[in-house]
Chain A
């Protein structure tokens, strides 16, 4: 055992102080007090394994799991509000999740990690963790979500493009707290698709594409969201693809051009999951596949 630990490192986290606030105000005060020493513990499904490998060594954990006011999953004012401790499985089981307009989020909710991890893991925690190969970050980009952050100056809403700063880095500063995420409610001529290639259930994406399309009454594309995961330092929006799609009538040629734009935008790292060439190929292929599926869900063959 000792030998093992020396060879591969401990799998027991470094010691830390544990705080369990009972209100958001209390949690925020603790985070303000301890600043960079403290980390928020939500689902813990990325943080705890990282602590076990000593990739993360926070001195203080602020466990927000008792803050039931942050467990909400509520649709109002054209926004889906996802509280900081709403679980992935809450999304998967939401009564409205089967509606076509939510198909991007529905798809993703079924392939994040594995079904047991999803019962603890949270959407907002995943956004804050900002793993380059995470799922919710790409979904949030394609959905044009924003994150609600409480800081010293009060509460601010940060568009996801500004929120994702770099690998494992976000707009949440030391002493601040992400309270939730807000996804605009898509109109009823909207559908999406989440396409992920993974080596096994529960693995991070080798490549993934999040696509959402809204149609005008005349069948042209009113708005499009296209984003990639495992394609750079963090999830990326494929601006060129969105521009190509907007205002156009869906066609095989348009999908090909969009797919090429995704191939160009993808800047993955080679690792055990695949080469750069392979992952770029997947990015293009998955965007095309996602677009075709989103359009098929809207009754359009292209």
Chain B
């Protein structure tokens, strides 16, 4: 089946089997291996991507054909013009990762969270990330990273003019 998916602003037109899961479509058909597959059964949150701007979805539990006609944001699409996204910068500054395996999912879940709650409390962040597992950090620095990003994104944009 033919699908047209806009991923990180780029149009992809591919022929896929209906049973192809979105995570594998991204990784194997589109070469976007930043989306990781952890548990493969919707428990761990490693594979989270954002659909249509603000909805976090586990790409291991959605078929690629369901993304037909939709916009997908993966970790590869976060940085713009060589500049890290505020969330990526937050994870860097606050040491929000160790091995990094869960990080793409953490970033994209946080991205959707901040779209719905631009000023989340610490509890909001912890609850919002409850579907994403990390076995390295103990979560503390991940929460700090998201707090930093919320602060950065909340600042009025600096004009380049």
Contact = CB atoms under 8 A, between A and B. Distances in A.
A202 interface: yes
B6 interface: no
Interface stretch (B57-65, B94-102, B140-148): B57-65
Given A15-B18, A119-B112, A114 B61 contact: no
Contacts of B45: 114, 116
Interface stretch (A30-38, A45-53, A134-142, A241-249): A45-53
B40 A18 contact: no
A115 B130 contact: yes
Interface stretch (A6-14, A230-238, A267-275): A6-14
Interface string A14-47: 1111101000000000000000000001001100
A209 interface: no
B131 A120 contact: no
A63 B41 contact: no
Contacts of A63: 65-66
Contacts of A14: 19
A113 B40 contact: no
A133 to B, nearest CB: 15
B42 A15 contact: no
B40 A52 contact: yes
Contacts of A266: none
A61 interface: yes
A206 interface: no
Contacts of B56: 115-116, 119
B61 A120 contact: yes
Given A52-B40, A52-B41, A63-B66, A116 B19 contact: no
Contacts of B40: 11, 52
A201 to B, nearest CB: 4
Interface string B58-83: 10011101101000000000000000
A49 B62 contact: no
Contacts of B27: none
A276 B127 CA distance: 30
B65 A119 contact: no
A45 B56 CA distance: 13
Contacts, number: 82
Contacts of B41: 11, 49, 52-53
A78 interface: no
B1 interface: yes
A146 to B, nearest CB: 29
B70 to A, nearest CB: 10
Nearest to A201: B130
B23 to A, nearest CB: 11
B156 to A, nearest CB: 26
A53 B43 CA distance: 14
Contacts of B35: none
Contacts of B42: 45, 48-49, 117
A258 interface: no
B57 A116 contact: yes
A263 B46 CA distance: 39
A201 B126 CA distance: 11
A202 B130 contact: yes
A201 B66 CA distance: 26
Among B17, B18, B132, max chain A CB count under 10 A is at: B18
Contacts of A12: 19, 21
A49 B61 contact: yes
A235 B42 CA distance: 24
B118 interface: no
B108 to A, nearest CB: 9
A103 interface: no
Contacts of A93: 116
Given A116-B45, A119-B55, A45 B61 contact: yes
B128 interface: yes
B20 to A, nearest CB: 9
B128 A120 contact: no
Nearest to B44: A202
Interface of B: 1, 17-19, 21, 40-43, 45, 48, 55-58, 61-63, 65-66, 68, 109, 112-113, 116, 127-132
Leading 7 A-B pairs by shortest Cβ distance: A114-B131, A18-B18, A116-B131, A201-B130, A13-B19, A48-B61, A116-B56
